[in-house]
Amino acid sequence: MRPKITVVGAGNVGGTVAQRLAERNCYDVVLVDVVEGMPQGKALDLMQAGAVYGHDALVTGANNYEETGGSAVAVITSGIARKPGMSRDELLSTNARIVKGVVEHIVARSPQAYLVMVTNPLDAMVHVALKVSRFPRHRVLGMAGILDSARFRRFISLELGVSPAEIHAIVLGGHGDTMVPLLRHTTVAGRSITEWLPKDRLEALVKRTQDGGAEIVNLLKTGSAYYAPSASAVEMVEAIVKDHKRILPCSVKCEGEYGLRDIVGVPVQLGKGGAERIVEFDLSADERAALNTSARAVRELCDAVDRLMA
Ligand SMILES: NC(=O)C1=CN([C@@H]2O[C@H](COP(=O)(O)OP(=O)(O)OC[C@H]3O[C@@H](n4cnc5c(N)ncnc54)[C@H](O)[C@@H]3O)[C@@H](O)[C@H]2O)C=CC1
Ligand SMILES: O=C([O-])CC(=O)C(=O)O
């Protein structure tokens, strides 16, 4: 039997996650949404695509959770997306309510699942999922750092005319304006990025990365990015289910690592145990201060969620 992956929210991100998973041809996928007929329609469409594209994954669409039982991983994308001029934080109260209900349903049927959170504001939704599920921290992860790092790598790649495959970069911190691209750990073909680009260009690319989500929201006007976000979420699913031991930035609850007790994006070793290890990089004083600032911003949002849910 193939591992079952449930994707909640069959909109732009969730629908594309389901497509990418089906195309891997090694998972069965359950797609859940509140809109009647929509997940069922997308599921059928995806299975028909398989007859052309060469996969035979079972994709089931549903408006309830009956088919989700025994999921290995649940990817939670349900909720509203921001529009131009909005911050992710403005989604907090609506999405916290949605995510709370969804996590209760998932946990009731898949008590051993790993949760990959996508809904924004991301780090605060990891907090909601941890609280509601009562799962240990290694089974509740948020997707953001892979996406933010991918954006940074691609911007560098476009600037230098070098394949992104040659560029190694990692973005830590919360998924918001305070995220922390680590320049000292950014390399192109193994050489420090500071040997490739002058300071002012690097600062511009860091800023573009921090605004990477808003840049796309402003272009699309009716929603937010989903191709790179779905690719990033699938990378997490694959690393967990296939025990890849990848070290990828994910949002997770720190318990003393980096001197923090907050939920924030840090390098995590992902494998069959979920977040198997948090890898501690040596940070400069400036980087540490920036990570602390980012963690504080997330903490304030988590406190706001707690007040809302009290
Ligand atoms: N962590 C990250 O880096 C990223 C996060 N996001 C976030 O992901 C979320 C989804 O984005 P999109 O897919 O673009 O939005 P979308 O609007 O296309 O899809 C969201 C879907 O959730 C469904 N939904 C709402 N309440 C539900 C419930 N109670 N149960 C099941 N389904 C429910 C809606 O019917 C809709 O189909 C947003 O909050 C967005 O901000 C998006 C991109 C990147
Ligand atoms: O910007 C948004 O609202 C969606 C998101 O988190 C991203 O694309 O980074």
* Average confidence score pLDDT of the chain: 97
The domain spans of the chain are: 4-142, 145-309
When pLDDT is averaged across residues 154-168 and rounded to a whole number, the result is 98
pLDDT interval class at 77 (50, 70, 90): very high
pLDDT tens-digit readout, 245-270: 999 999 999 999 999 999 999 999 99
Q: How far is the CA of 158 from the centre of ligand 1 (A)?
A: 29
List Cα–Cα distances, 228 to 95, 149, 225, in angstroms: 21, 11, 7
**CATH for 145-309, options being 1.10.238.10, 3.90.110.10, 2.60.40.420, 3.30.300.30:** 3.90.110.10
| pLDDT above 70 as % of the chain | 100
Pairing outcome for strands 274-278 and 246-253? unpaired
Phi and psi for 77 in degrees, rounded to 5? -120, 5
Per-residue pLDDT at 193: 97
The pLDDT value given to residue 50: 98
> What is the ipTM for the molecules in this complex?
0.99
Query: Residue 99 and residue 184: Cα distance in Å, rounded?
Result: 36
Give residue 11's pLDDT. Answer: 98
User: Pocket of ligand 2, candidates 82, 147, 224: which has the most ligand atoms within 8 Å of its Cβ, to mutate?
Assistant: 224
Distance CA 266, CA 247 (A): 10
Residue 4 Cβ inside 6 Å of ligand 2? The answer reads no
CB of residue 151 inside a 6 A radius of ligand 1: no
Q: What digits encode the pLDDT tens for the residues 1-20? A: 899 999 999 999 999 999 99
pLDDT at 284 over 90: yes
Residues carrying an active site annotation: 175
Give me the percent of the chain exceeding a pLDDT of 90: 99
For residue 295, pLDDT beyond 90: yes
Domain over 4-142 is classified CATH 3.40.50.2300: no
Q: Are 226 and 141 in contact (CB under 8 A)?
A: no
| pTM (whole model) above 0.90 | yes
Protein residue whose Cα sits closest to atom 7 of ligand 2? 213
List own/partner pairs for 215-221 with CB under 8 A and 24 or more apart.
217/81, 217/82, 217/83, 217/84, 217/86, 218/84, 221/83, 221/84
- Mutating to test ligand 2, I would choose from 16, 76, 82 the residue with most ligand atoms within 8 A of its C-beta, which is 82
Ligand 1 near 297 CB (within 6 A): no
pLDDT per residue as tens digits for the range 198-242: 999 999 999 999 999 999 999 999 999 999 999 999 999 999 999
Instruction: Read off the pLDDT of residues 82-101 as tens digits, 9 standing for 90 and up.
Output: 999 999 999 999 999 999 99
Quick one: pLDDT band at residue 310, thresholds 50, 70, 90? confident
Provide the pLDDT for residue 207.
Answer: 97
Show the DSSP H helices in the chain as ranges: 12-24, 38-53, 92-109, 122-133, 145-160, 199-210, 212-220, 227-241, 285-309
